[in-house]
Chains A and B, each alone.
Chain A
């Protein structure tokens, strides 16, 4: 039915375009001087039909699901939902949905079957109603648009106003996305902080979120202090930076000052490949190769290394960050004015001395900005740590131990059973909000540093 509605809309739009263009063209043939070209008259009609009807269809599709399920749940016989929690009610709703889709498990109660039938009926009615609405609205708009065709009608201005409106809407999608992220994180976190006090979350040193979702599950008692989790994130980030910053800096210095043009042309793209490899691949690499190698090396020296050692996740994350740091450093070094370099060389400094004592200090703000962006990446990186780091949150800074991170906890809490009235699910959103705040803060700081430094030489 939805497809049919879209097809109807498409047909109406094309019809509006053809009708009005033909009408305008015939006016022109009769010797009238039109303000706008005939195609603009056509385009005007097409947009007048397309935009409102498209909006109606979208809104319809968005609200059809929630409205219908509210109707179905509201129409259940008296008393069957008495004394049930929010989660159980949503389970019943899901069961009715799956019965309606034809997947019946066991023998459900007759009122459930009845509700499922009602659901199917309501959906069919809604589909028919949508098509009828689309058809009626299209015809009305087509008629209204057709009446606008006149020599003095400024169709081009109308079209351009509507196109500009579309363009403005497109550019506000970014705002809507940010608002959506912020609102959903705040809303779900607020739900979480009603169940778990915010002080416990911020200052607690114990993280054991595996509490039961259903009554028959065996699980821990639950503790939601995020300090060990953020500590793990810090440990892995520090390892990743300790490995990637020197490698990135030195390779950028070499490429910028010593490498031949041909070497640059080969090395830079190869380093970029490292940035293009999906992180799930790095995660598998960490599990398959790096962690066993580290363990074997540790066994050689008699040091016990955990299979989920932070060292493995951190060092593999470093590989991902190398191209990031090296390209930022390279840009920052290249942005230092030539006069500084030439002046230093003219005074008799070697190239190495010029680099270390003149160019590098001048480029430091840009490099620091780049490293900060790398930090924010490392904190937000998910797949490498989900696959290679641990699940148990422990207060430790030993890189050989297994640690967990904020992103690991978000993913493990949300894979599998999720129900939005359970602190286990909501905890993921609270962690997500902290992650968002931290990375946003670091990004803003980094951009500010970079911008300030640019002003120095421009």
Chain B
């Protein structure tokens, strides 16, 4: 506020008016800067989501071709490789040689195994001709989705002119379809994008989170109850609190180093197992749960404790019969938020080897497996074009789980949490 010589003209003088205008302009600038900052943050969030959705939505469908497969009668162990080849070649009778050569490349290399497992499930198909839908290989999937420009010179394209002609022939015959990509959810990882799925990663993440919950939930609540209800203020309780606060801020990769040195190297636990991942995540989630539980315990009014003590309950009875049940909604909310953080955690899982290429879903928490975030990391590193959209799709699945968990936490808070 500049010096204003009021005697020289007072509040109505031109100098004074100019001063007020200048101050208002300053105010406007500050407001505008704030709005711009918020807009930038929103724009970043929108760009993030939009780029994921735009690249990811295509992976939720997969181009398939319908084949008429004939298996010779009487043969209990038919050659599915030959049958598959025969089925695709039958579609190109009369076509030129180049097209025929390209035709077998249209099929995914997993097509024969899909036919094989279909027949294994229906043994009476042997000796018959049946129609079955199998996925096409990644370049042709990209072609069908319009991601390969037909105008680019042949040498720079991943599919040849003959291949395009062959594919168009199938398309005109009405054999090409694009159903929902169930492989994304029922298959485990694969080198071939059209066959790769998230089943192994989802189960691995589930086992890891289960282990994390079973360890961090009881220990976290126990620690919080001790610190909040029983601990006297002394060196030990101070030291514990400092430790908890510091652990909450230790970089996640350091927890990975701890797990590698202690769990894998000293104790010899299996490498890449969701159990070890869950153990590591439990140590990271512990501070979150302890802090949330303490807040929830603190929110229970002292009158409850005093009433229970007054009718003769012991201190532990007060806590376990009255305070803890009343604090449970808050504790559960904090726990779910902690688990959601753990679900997205990647770096410590990489260090304990949950980034291996594994084509089978784990059947116990002690088998090697990947987790959703590490699967995203693996796919993001894969050179095949088809993995770009699959990585985005996997991220959308991961974000979907996170939204679900947070929604559950918000629901619990709104539904059960009491204000005193």
Contact = CB atoms under 8 A, between A and B. Distances in A.
Closest CB pairs A-B (n = 4): A254-B34, A380-B251, A278-B344, A170-B222
Contacts of A439: 249-251
Contacts of A193: none
Given A174-B290, A380-B251, 5 more contacts: A62-B267, A184-B258, A187-B261, A353-B1, A429-B261
Interface stretch (B84-92, B133-141, B174-182, B237-245): B237-245
Interface string A378-398: 011111001100000000000
B130 interface: no
Interface residues of A, number: 93
A140 interface: no
A180 B263 CA distance: 11
Interface of B: 1, 23-24, 26-27, 29-31, 33-38, 40-42, 44-45, 47-48, 51-52, 55, 218-223, 225-227, 230-231, 239-240, 243-247, 249-258, 260-262, 265-268, 283, 286-287, 290, 314-316, 340-341, 343-347, 350-351, 355, 373, 376-377, 380, 388, 391-392, 395, 398-399, 402, 406
B351 A436 contact: no
A174 B240 contact: yes
Nearest to B249: A443
A80 interface: no
A278 B339 CA distance: 12
B345 A278 contact: yes
Nearest to B26: A352
B398 A278 contact: yes
B340 A276 contact: yes
Q: Which of B230, B316, B347 has the most CB of A within 10 A?
A: B347
Given A175-B239, A432-B254, A411 B245 contact: no
B344 A280 contact: yes
Contact of A383 (B34, B377, B392): B377
B335 to A, nearest CB: 15
A250 B218 CA distance: 41
25 contacts: A65-B267, A164-B316, A170-B220, A171-B222, A174-B244, A174-B247, A175-B239, A187-B261, A247-B41, A276-B341, A277-B48, A279-B346, A281-B398, A284-B395, A350-B24, A351-B27, A352-B29, A373-B249, A376-B251, A380-B252, A380-B253, A382-B347, A415-B351, A439-B250, A440-B250
A447 B287 CA distance: 16
B45 A273 contact: yes
B232 to A, nearest CB: 12
Contacts of B222: 166-167, 169-171
Contact of B253 (A156, A282, A373, A411): A411
Interface of A: 62, 65-66, 69, 156, 160, 163-164, 166-175, 177-178, 180-181, 184-185, 187-188, 246-251, 253-255, 258-259, 267, 270-271, 273-274, 276-285, 287-289, 319, 322-323, 326, 348-353, 355-356, 373, 376, 379-383, 386-387, 407, 410-411, 414-415, 418, 420, 428-429, 432, 435-436, 439-440, 443-444, 447
Main secondary structure of the interface of B (DSSP, over half): helix
Given A171-B226, A284-B391, A407 B347 contact: yes
A319 B27 CA distance: 27
B373 A435 contact: no
Contacts of B392: 284, 288
Given A277-B48, A435-B254, A247 B227 contact: no
Contacts of B219: 170, 173
B198 to A, nearest CB: 14
B344 A181 contact: no
Contact of A382 (B36, B253, B399): B253
Contacts of A350: 23-24, 26-27
A62 B261 CA distance: 15
A414 B398 contact: no
